[in-house]
Amino acid sequence: MLTLFKTKLGRIRIIGFLEGLSLLVLIFVAIPMKHLFHNTALSKFLGPIHGAIFLVFVLNTMSLAIEQNWKFRTTTWKIIVACFIPFGTFYIDHKIFKNLKES
């Protein structure tokens, strides 16, 4: 786990995990609490945090794509789209990030 912090690819995998986790908590816990129980505390707290993690993930993805010369049509767009889908970042980590090598 600590080796992930040493490389840009490792850090983006960690950020992707946090982004995916925050999206799942937001969708499956905070939003139902907001609409079913009229309790907006968690969505007000977690919404901006998820938004910030999302932006950090997208910016790091673009930075890494430029650095490693990824083709937008084959790799980068899949990673960006995965941010919008629940469990998407976990899928991308398993299918794309695990197979990439830090150059």
- CA-CA-CA-CA dihedral for 89, 91, 94, 95, to nearest 10: -110
Please write the tens of the pLDDT for every residue from 40-63.
999 999 999 999 999 999 999 999
| Contact yes or no for 42/30 (Cβ under 8 A) | yes
Which pTM value belongs to this model?
0.88
- CA-nearest of 51, 49, 80, 52 to 64 is 80
Q: So what's the pLDDT on residue 103?
A: 52
The structure tokens listed for 67 are 């650095």
Please write the tens of the pLDDT for every residue from 57-102.
999 999 999 998 988 888 899 999 999 999 999 999 998 888 876 6
SS (H, E, C) 12-64: HHHHHHHHHHHHHHHHHHHHHHHHHCCCCHHHHHHHHHHHHHHHHHHHHHHHH
CA angle 11, 2, 81 (to 5 degrees): 25
